[in-house]
Amino acid sequence: MSLPHAILTALVEKPSSGLELTRRFDKSIGYFWSATHQQIYRELGKLERDGLIRALPSPVPARGQKKEYEVLPDGRAELARWTAAPQEPKTLRDPLLLRLRSAAVVGTDGVDTELRRHLDLHRQQLETYRDIEKRDFPPERDAVPDRLRRAVLQAGIDLETFWVEWLERTLSELDR
């Protein structure tokens, strides 16, 4: 159950409307937890019903009208509880690895094209992360929250680096 907590985190950082949240997920948050606007609206409804967030008072409460949410004390408490609670690490589940395994039994025709395409995409993503690193993390920012956010970005950089190197090696293994 991570989506509600992703939303709570975003709203603690800054109260927002559904669409603003969607845009923020498309940018920074979505790099490690993506969500569509449909998911976000559905979850905002639940969080409000459960008393974890509330809509800021607005003169015109109608459809098509912007609606800002903020986190209530119960929501902040739930977020703190969830953040430190024991959770099992996500088990690996990756379609590309599965496809290589299946290529071992049905043949490798066309697989290398896909591997090369993925290599390109991962190189692009790696570049994007490096740009964010330059832009958002100058050396002078070194408080604990900055170090945490930086560690998260570093995980993204390391994972993309892994994919790039692994794909390069696997492609050269296939060409032998």
For residue 1, what are the contacts with CB-CB under 8 A and spacing of at least 6? Answer: 82
Site string for a copy of itself, 59-88 (x = CB under 8 A): -----------------x--xx-xxxxxxx
CB of 25 to DNA, least distance (A): 10
CB of 64 to a copy of itself, least distance (A): 30
Smaller CB separation from a copy of itself, 66 or 81? 81
Question: Which helix (H) or strand (E) is 53 found in, with range?
Answer: strand 53-55
Virtual torsion, Cα 82, 83, 86, 89, nearest 10 deg: 110
Residue from 19, 98, 10, 116 nearest 53 by CA: 10
Interface residue with a copy of itself, options 39, 55, 133, 159 (CB under 8 A): 159
CB of 156 to a copy of itself, least distance (A): 6
